[in-house]
């Protein structure tokens, strides 16, 4: 994922992720901004994958994005690794 994940991109992002059989690892190195609508996309994807015994792993999460995940508690719901900045 790259750029912004806000309300204008969420429908397309969710459709794309739902079309993949196992989008287990998502590289967020290029993600510059995430809105609450983007968090919803990741949460829905996580729930779908957990239903099949899997789960998301977010890699290369920038500090600013990681802070949002931490403030919202997503760091306790989705496995992630921070980017080397």
The CATH number of residue 20's host domain is 3.30.750.24
pTM of the model: 0.90
CB 3 within 8 A of CB 30: yes
Beta strands 57-61 and 25-27 are parallel
Domain count, the chain: 1
Residue 40 — very low, low, confident or very high, per pLDDT cuts 50/70/90? very high
15-29 pLDDT, tens per residue?
Answer: 989 888 776 899 999
Cα separation, 40 vs 56, in Å, equals: 13
What is the phi/psi pair of residue 28, to 5°? -105, 20
CA distance 49 to 4: 23
Kindly state the tokens that stand for 64: 């600013």
How many angstroms from the chain centroid is the CA of residue 5? 9
Assign 61 a pLDDT band (cuts: 50, 70, 90).
Answer: very high
pLDDT value at position 19?
86
Range of the domain at 61: 2-82
Q: How confident is the model at residue 11 (pLDDT cuts 50, 70, 90)?
A: very high
Q: What is the pLDDT of residue 46?
A: 94
């Amino acid at each position: 994922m790259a750029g912004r994940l806000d309300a204008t991109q969420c429908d397309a992002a969710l459709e794309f992720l739902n079309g993949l059989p196992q989008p287990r690892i998502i590289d967020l190195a290029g993600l510059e901004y995430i809105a609450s609508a983007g968090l919803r996309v990741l949460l829905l994807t996580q729930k779908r994958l957990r239903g099949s015994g899997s789960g998301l792993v977010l890699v290369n999460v920038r500090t600013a994005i990681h802070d949002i995940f931490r403030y919202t508690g997503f760091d306790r719901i989705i496995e992630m690794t921070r980017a080397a900045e």
